[in-house]
Structure 1
Amino acid sequence: METILSDSYCRLCADLKPVSVLTNMVMNTEICREFTNKLTRLDLQVNFNTKLPKTVCSECINSLERAYDFVKSVELAQEAFKDYDSSVFDDMKVEVPDDDSMDKGINDESSFKAENSIFDESVIGQELLVEYVPKNKAKKINSKPKPQKRAVESNSTTLSEPTTSKPRKRPKISANVELDTWQDCNWLCAVCDKCFSSPSELRVHSMQFHYTCNAYRCFDCRERGLHMDNFVTHISRHRPVLTLMCYKCSQKFDTVKELKAHKETHFDTEYICHGCNLTFPNKEELDDHMNRFYKNVKTNSLEVTENTSLTCVICEKTSKSKLTLVQHLILHTDRKRTHVCDICGKSFYHKNDLIEHRKLHDDARPYKCEICQYTFKTEPNLRKHAITIHFRPKQFACKDCGKCFRLGKELVVHSAVHSDVKPYKCTFCEKGFRLRHSLQKHIAIHTGIKPYACGHCPLTFNNWSNFNKHSKDVHGVDNAKRKRTPNDLYAVDPETKKIIYPDEEKVNEFKNQILADTGKGRPRKKW
C-alpha cells in the first residue's frame, strides 16, 4: 500500500490518478519550490519529504495557479482603492528624469507638440476616439469638418505576421486616456503599427517578424523608443497615474526609490538587454541576443526585413503553418490561460478552444463515419479520423520489414519494434518497454484496476485485448465492433457479428464532403 500511495495518488486531492498526469515534486526541485511558495502564500503547508505521496496531479496544479492569481488580483485591486481614497497624487512630488534621459531616437520637438496639442473627439460605432491634431491645423478642423475615417483597431493581441503592403496609418488613440494600471496600456509596434496588450507580446512579435526586440512607438506622440526603461518613463509623462507603478506587475509605490528597488526583483540575473529588459543566464547568450535583435536606430522610422520563416527565432522550433507558429509564440509571452474548464480544470488561451473542449464532456456524438460507423463528438475529429484511417494513402514504409503506414508518426512508433531501446520505465518495478501504451497496460497490473468485466462469468480484466480473447475462447462471443480487412476498416453487426459493408455511393459522397473546401478562409489541403 505504501508503494501505491507514493506513486499513484495525488498529495493534494488524494485521488488515484494515471502516472501521465502526475508530477513528482521531489524529482522536480524547481517546480516544487515554486509550488510550495504558492501554497505558503495561501496559508497551506505541505511537506513532500515524508512517506506520504510525493506526486501532484495536473488538475490540482492548475487550481493552485488560478487561486494564486486570484489572490494577487485582489491585492492589486485593494491597493488601487487605497490610492483613490487617499488623494496620493495631490501632494506627490515625483522626480521625473530630464528629456535628455530619453533615447536619442526620440525627438524633443515632437514631445513639445504632444504637450501643446488639442484633441478632436468623434463618436464612431459607440466608441469615443481621440486623434492627435497639431495646433496650427485646429482652425481648419473647426471650420470644415473632415470626413470620418475608419478607426484603427487597437485591441488586437494576436501575434500574427504583419502586412506592410500598404503605407502605415497613424493610429487613433482611445478616449480612455486616464489609465488605471499598466495592464490597460496598449503597446504599439514601431514597424507595422500592430497593437498588443503587453510588452512581452510586442517583444515576441517584433523579434519573430522584424528581427528587433525594441520596436516601441508611443501611442500619444508617435515617438520612437529604444530602451525599455526610458520608454516607460516617456509613457509616464503622458499618463502621470503610471509614474510610480511597475510596468510588469502594476504594483504601486510611494517613491521612485521604492519602485527602482522593486524592479530589481523581476531580474534573476545581471545579464539584461537594455533594449527589451529580457534576462539571460550568461554573457554569451546576451551578446548573441544583442547582435541579432537589438536595433540602435537614430531615426523615427525603422526599416527591418520581415521574417517569413516558420521557425521560432526564440526556441528554434519549426511549425507547419503560420497559424501554428502564431499559437506557439504565445508560449514565450506573459499571457496566461485564463479560459478554464469548470469540469476538469484544463485551461486555454482562447475562448473558442474552451468551447471546443467542452464538447468532449458531453455524451452526444452526432458525427458518424459512413465507412466504419464510428461516432465522434466534434466535426474536426471526424475529419481527422476519415482522412488518416480511410482516405490517406499508405506512403510511409518501414525500411526493415516493408510494412506501410498512413501517418509518419505511426511509422515512428512501429520502428521501436525493431530496436532494443526501451525508454518507457515502470515506476513500480523498473521494467522497460518499447511503446508507451505497453507501459500503460503494464501499470494496471500494479494498481489492481480491472475495468473490463465479463458478462458471462465473474472474471475481470485490466485490458480489453485479454477480455475479448477470454470471451471468444471461453464463451464464443466476439466483442469487437469493427474489423480490419485488406481493403479498409469496417463496422461489425452486433448480433450477427458479420462485417457491414457500406454503400459505395454513400462512401463517395462522404469522401467528397470530408475533402471539400469549407468556403471560409483558406482552402483545405487536398490529401
Structure 2
Amino acid sequence: MYKCQYCSFETDLKVGLDSHINIIHEGRKIDDILRHILECYKCKNCNFRTYSLLLLLKHACSCDKEKRSPKYSAMEADNWREYTTTDGVRWFKCKHCPYEGKRKDCLRKHIIRKHADPKDVRWFRCEQCPHRVKSKFELKQHVRSVHTSVVVSKMLQCELCPFKTKLSGYLKKHIAGMHVHPDKIKWFQCDQCPIKYKERRNLKNHVLSKHTAPGNLERFKCERCAYECARKDHLQSHTLRMHKDPKEIKWFECEHCPYRTKSKFDLKDHIIVMHTVFEDSELLRCELCPFKTKLKSYLQRHVLTMHRNPDEIKWFQCEQCSFKAKRKCNLKQHVFLSHTPYEDIKWFKCDCCSYKTKLKCNLKEHILIRHTAPENLDWFKCEQCSYECKRKSDLKKHVNRKHGDDDLKWLQFEQL
C-alpha cells in the first residue's frame, strides 16, 4: 500500500498516490485522462475499497468465496460485467477473415494460428515427442498434461464430483459444462438454427459442418492417403488411427479387461457400456419406443435409424451406384466393401487359419466364434428359455422370432 505523507489517503498504485498529491495537496488541475484514478471502487459483497479497477476485478473472484454456493463460477461475478464494456473500444480487424480483437497482440496471434504459412511459422517443439505448436504457452500446457507425472503436477480436483485435471482451464470448462445452472451460462447461439452451445469453439464447428457451403470449406488433406476433412482435429484423429506406428501410440487400457484403445473417449464409453452398472431409472430412453441405452450417442443413432422421417434425413449417396445411407460411416463402409480395387484393400488375416476379411470387426467375430474356448466366452442367454448364443445379434433375432414382438423387447439391448 502507498500512503500519503500529508493525510490518511492510501492506495494500491503509485500513480494513484502521485495524482492524489498533485491534485489535493499541490492544487494542480485534474487531467481528464487520470480522473478515473481518483475514483474509489467498492466491492458489493464486503467493505473492500480500492482505487484500482484491476484489483477490484481480481478481488471480485475471491471475495466471500466461502459464503457463496459451491456451484459458483467466474461467470457469475457480476462485478466484472459492471465495469467492463465494449463501448469506445478500438477493434483490431483481421484482413483475411471476420475476426476482430481488442488487442493488437491477439490479432497477431490469430494471424499466426489461422493464416500464416507453416513454412514461415516459428514452431515450438516438444523435447519428449514429435508434437509441435505455434505458441509457447500451448507447449507448456502440452508438457504439463502429457509428460508431467501426477506427483510433480498437482491435480486440480472438482469440489462437486470426482473429476480432476492438471490444467485450470480444463477445470473451469468442466464446472461450466457440468455444474453451472443453464440460466447462468452465457450461451453461444447459432444465427441460422435454434441450436446453442456452452463453448464458442463448438459453435464454430457446428457452423462449419452444418451451415457452410462445401466450396467455402478449407480442406485438411492427409499426406499419406486420399483422406480429407473440414476439421483439423478430425485429420489428427485419422492420422492417429490409420498411420501412426503402434509402438509410438499411447494406448489407453481398461482396468477391468484386456481392452485398449487409441482414444481416451472410446475408453470412457467402453467402461460405461461394459463395466458400469446402471439402475433402470438412470438409462436413457427413447420417447417413441421401449429402447433404452447407457450412452447419448447410441440413443441419437437409434432415433436417426428407426424413427426419423425419410424426407427429413440427410442421405449420403454413393457416387458409383444407387446405394444411400443415413450415416456417413455406413457409406464409407459400402464404398470400401463394394468399390475398392482388390489390390488396394488392406486385408485382416486370422493367425489360426486361412480366413481373411476386409473389416477388422469381422475378424474379431470370426476369432470369437471359431477359435475361442466355450469357457472363455460371455454367452448371451435368453430370459424366456434356455437358448444361448455367442453373438448379441443372434439373441435379438431369437427373441424377435420365438417370443414375439409384442413389446419389441429386443430393442432394449445395447447396440454396441
Report TM bin, short chain.
0.3 to 0.5
Instruction: State the structure with bigger RCO (CA 8 A, min sep 6), 1 or 2.
Output: 1
Between Structure 1 and Structure 2, the one with more helix by share is: 2
